[in-house]
Amino acid sequence: MTVKHRAAIDTLVAYKPGRAPAAGRPKVKLSSNEMPFGPLPSVLDAIARAATTLNRYPDFHRLDLTEALAARHGVDPSQVVVDNGSGALLQVLASVIAGPGDEILYAWRAFESYPIVTTVAGATGVTVPLDGRHTHDLPAMAAAATDRTRMVVVCNPNNPTGTVVSRAELNRLLDALPDDVLVVLDEAYWDFVTDPDAPCGLDLVTERPNVAVLRTFSKAYGLAGLRVGYCVTRPETADLIRKSIVGFSVSTLAQAGALASLTPEADVELKQRVAHVVEERARLTGELVRMGVPAVPSQANFVFMPMPDGPARFTAFEERGVILRAYGTDGLRVTVGTAEENDRFLALAAELLRRS
């Protein structure tokens, strides 16, 4: 017998993480948009030192990390909220901004957590298809907003397609929405953006009263296993989040690792690692296009390949030792790995994806 619960939860499609290699079977995992390199040595040292204090609770308010992030981004600490991943912050925002009878608007296909956090909040999800460039159709999103819309999510770069909207397009969307509708800019992959016309959400926070930016240490910083993300927004919105997050939700190790990642020493190596990803991203895209494989130009650490037979192609890759991410009949996504991992993927792509 199932306990009584909200009927809407029965309709949820649970989040499915990227497939991991089975025990004892060596495979190349390019399914979860992880950084292919481990934590920086200085970060590991900071984590090891912090481990000696694990008999104590972590800093409830994440003060040192909050202040460091505020200094880095040139905002007041009252505008920064740290939690255990940007996904957790998205869930809190959905719950404090919207509820039964309200609408949360987002593009599709985009990050698979969006419909989950919307349903858990009790709100109604309104989806707008991506345009022909596999990019957010911001004019259509503006047209889809109603007086029930409480929150609009823009994933930029978009997961899984890697596309970005332009600064002008985003400003037109913001102009079209009331100032009391929160616009959440999910910038988990911002560190990999090289397009000079891509808008930086942090700039918009200072200009607009209704913008919240989500960023994470899981991607470029290589700390996916620690679960640290943060939100930068106006102080009033930040206060709503602080009232609602779970206490002590960012561990001592996570705070220490994230804080050590913000030092000048770590910045140098981080930029080198990001440069590798950007260079390899271009190589992957160029080789796929040369093979005749559709590949969407990406600003993230992955490349999306639209194809209706994605699940079958996914299986063929996995049987040969490379794990990708399939999105039903929409396509396949490959994470940018090390040069050697990318070579292995490309060798298989020439066999399994090449168009005659």
The domain that holds 319 is classified in CATH as 3.90.1150.10
Mean pLDDT of the chain: 94
Answer yes or no: is 338 within a domain.
yes
Answer yes or no: is 50 within a domain.
no
Q: What is the pLDDT of residue 91?
A: 96
Answer yes or no: is 285 within a domain.
yes
Alpha helices in the chain, H assignment, sequence order: 41-50, 63-73, 86-97, 113-121, 138-144, 167-176, 201-207, 235-244, 252-260, 264-290, 310-319, 339-352
340 & 225 share domain: no
- Give tens-digit pLDDT for 174-195: 999 999 999 999 999 999 999 9
Burial of 165 (0-12, 13-18, 19+ CB in 10 A): buried
242 & 169 share domain: yes
17 & 108 share domain: no
Task: Copy the structure tokens of residue 88.
Answer: 């957790």
258 & 269 share domain: no
Nearest-angstrom CA–CA distance, 154 and 242: 22
State the pLDDT confidence band at 3, using cuts at 50, 70 and 90. confident
Nearest-angstrom CA–CA distance, 295 and 110: 17
Domain boundary at 205, 230, 263, which? 263
Q: What is the pLDDT of residue 210?
A: 97
Mapping DSSP to helix (H, G, I), strand (E, B) and coil, where does residue 215 land? Answer: strand
* pLDDT, mean of residues 143-158: 98
Answer yes or no: is 39 within a domain.
no
Contact 152, 145 (CB under 8 A): yes
213 & 248 share domain: yes
Nearest-angstrom CA–CA distance, 200 and 211: 11
* pLDDT, mean of residues 154-163: 98
222 & 198 share domain: yes
225 & 334 share domain: no
Could you tell me the pTM of the whole model? 0.93
The domain that holds 195 is classified in CATH as 3.40.640.10
| Domain residue limits at 278 | 7-30+265-352
Query: Cα dihedral sign for 218, 244, 112, 285?
Result: negative
Answer yes or no: is 46 within a domain.
no
139 & 280 share domain: no
Is pLDDT above 70 for 143?
Answer: yes
Answer yes or no: is 106 within a domain.
yes
CA terminus-to-terminus distance, the chain:
55
Longest dimension (CA), the chain: 62
Answer yes or no: is 1 within a domain.
no
Domain boundary at 244, 263, 282, which? 263
CA angle, 289 then 292 then 298, to 5° = 30
Select from 33, 25, 26 the least CA-distant residue to 344. Answer: 26
- State how many domains the chain has: 2
Q: Are strands 80-83 and 229-232 parallel, antiparallel or unpaired?
A: antiparallel
237 & 148 share domain: yes
- Give tens-digit pLDDT for 330-347: 999 999 999 999 999 999
- Give tens-digit pLDDT for 262-296: 999 899 999 999 999 999 999 999 999 999 999 99
Mapping DSSP to helix (H, G, I), strand (E, B) and coil, where does residue 198 land? Answer: coil
220 & 117 share domain: yes
245 & 143 share domain: yes
Domain boundary at 263, 283, 310, which? 263
251 & 286 share domain: no
Percentage of the chain modeled with pLDDT above 70:
94
Answer yes or no: is 145 within a domain.
yes
Q: What is the pLDDT of residue 284?
A: 98
CA angle, 285 then 135 then 304, to 5° = 30
Contact 319, 257 (CB under 8 A): no
